[in-house]
Amino acid sequence: MSTVGELFLEHKAEKYHTTTLYAQVYDWLFSGRRHITKVLEIGVKGGGSIRSWEAYFPHATIYGVDCDHLEHLETDRIKILTGRQEDQEFLKAQVIPHGPFDIIIDDGGHHSHQQQTSLLALWPHVTVGGIYAIEDIFYAFDAYYCPPGDKSTIVFLQEQVNRMICRPDALLLQGLHLVQFSYGLAILHK
The residues assigned a catalytic role are: 110
Give the whole-angstrom CA distance, residue 128 versus residue 73.
Answer: 29
8-state DSSP, 164: H
Beta-carbon count within 10 A of 34 CB: 12
Q: Where are the beta strands (DSSP E) in 26-100?
A: 38-42, 61-66, 78-82
Give the whole-angstrom CA distance, residue 142 versus residue 154.
Answer: 12
Give the whole-angstrom CA distance, residue 190 versus residue 81.
Answer: 24
Q: Which residues contact 71 (CB under 8 A, 6 or more apart)?
A: 80, 82
